[in-house]
């Protein structure tokens, strides 16, 4: 489905990014694996290339402009072009009420989740304008559509990601660049599972969340990956500016 295409995946070393990078490579794409985590990123590169598929890890902080520029230059330098990106790297909520969130905590989430997504889109779109188009998928969240308790910092960033997505779809539709976002429900990734194992009371919070999903379970990273691969492919050629829930029915409750 994606044979010969070149994609960037941020947050590729773990969770949904890793599952998506593996699927894109499996479907024949060359994948730039961008992440802060060098050890896990290099291990994934080795895993993909040892199966005869194409991947290149580049250590990237998506909140640093020079890193993001280098990430996009690596895609075009190694593989000659860029056909799309899964802008997925992000950090979790502080789980504090708004009046307890420090300015540093607020800025950290804005920097990574929102400014990081903006920077990636800025340089990816510039590259894709040169080769006639492409497809971008950003990771928002169900909290990019509705609010919740103790998540105002995170929810603000994910609402922002949906806003960026819709505006870019408007700006670049004429250039054959499609831009969509996915809004995952709770997905079983280290972001969730590691917190559950170390924060008192978090298991109970998760149990309530689990029941809010119509399917009465959490999602798997691979269930995000299949949607993202489809959005990156030409099979979704008439979809742009959409924020697509991949949430086991959470937002319909």
Rule CB under 6 A: choose which of 33, 56, 84, 116 binds ligand NAD. Answer: 116
Task: Using the minimum distance from each CB to ligand NAD, give the nearer residue, 130 or 149.
Answer: 149
Determine whether 154 is an active site residue.
Answer: yes
Segment contacting ligand NAD (CB under 6 A): 68-76, 82-90, 125-133, 236-244? 82-90
Alpha helices in the chain (DSSP H): 15-26, 38-49, 65-79, 103-109, 116-131, 152-172, 190-198, 202-212, 221-232
Dihedral over Cα of 57, 123, 227, 24: its sign: negative
Query: Which one of 43, 192, 242, 251 is in contact with ligand NAD (CB under 6 A)?
Result: 192
Assess 248 for contact with ligand NAD (CB under 6 A): no
75, with CB counted inside 10 A (0-12, 13-18, 19+), is: buried
**Least Cβ distance, residue 18 to ligand NAD (angstroms):** 7
Q: Does 37 bind ligand NAD (CB under 6 A)?
A: yes
Token representation of residue 54: 């194409």
Q: Is 69 exposed, middle or buried (0-12, 13-18, 19+ CB in 10 A)?
A: middle
User: Phi, psi at residue 183, to the nearest 5°?
Assistant: -120, 85
Interacting positions 62-81 with ligand NAD (CB under 6 A):
62-63
Residue from the set 2, 17, 24, 155 that interacts with ligand NAD by CB under 6 A: 17
Residue 184 as a binder of ligand NAD (CB under 6 A): the answer is: yes
| Binding stretches for ligand NAD (CB under 6 A) | 10-11, 13-17, 35-37, 60-63, 88-91, 112, 116, 139, 141, 184, 186-187, 189-192
């Amino acid at each position: 489905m994606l044979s010969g295409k070149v994609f960037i995946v941020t947050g590729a070393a773990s969770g949904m990014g890793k599952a998506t990078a593996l699927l894109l490579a499996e479907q024949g794409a060359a994948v730039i694996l961008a992440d802060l985590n060098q050890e896990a990123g290099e291990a994934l590169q080795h895993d993909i290339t040892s199966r005869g598929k194409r991947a290149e890890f580049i250590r990237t902080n998506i909140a640093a402009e020079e890193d993001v520029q280098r990430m996009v230059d690596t895609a075009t330098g190694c593989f000659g072009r860029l056909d799309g990106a899964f802008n997925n790297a992000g950090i979790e909520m502080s789980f504090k009420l708004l009046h307890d969130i420090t300015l540093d905590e607020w800025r950290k989430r804005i920097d990574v989740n929102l400014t990081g997504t903006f920077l990636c889109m800025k340089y990816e779109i510039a590259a894709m304008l040169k080769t006639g188009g492409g497809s971008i998928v950003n990771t928002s969240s169900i909290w990019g559509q509705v609010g919740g308790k103790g998540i105002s910092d995170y929810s603000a960033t994910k609402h922002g990601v949906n806003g960026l997505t819709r505006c870019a779809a408007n700006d670049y539709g004429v250039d054959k660049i499609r831009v969509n976002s996915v809004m995952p429900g709770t997905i079983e990734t280290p972001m969730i599972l590691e917190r559950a194992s170390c924060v008192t009371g978090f298991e109970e919070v998760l149990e309530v969340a689990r029941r809010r999903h119509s399917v009465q379970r959490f999602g798997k990273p691979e269930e995000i990956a299949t949607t993202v691969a489809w959005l990156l492919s030409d099979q979704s050629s008439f979809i742009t500016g959409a924020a697509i829930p991949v949430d086991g029915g959470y937002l319909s409750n």
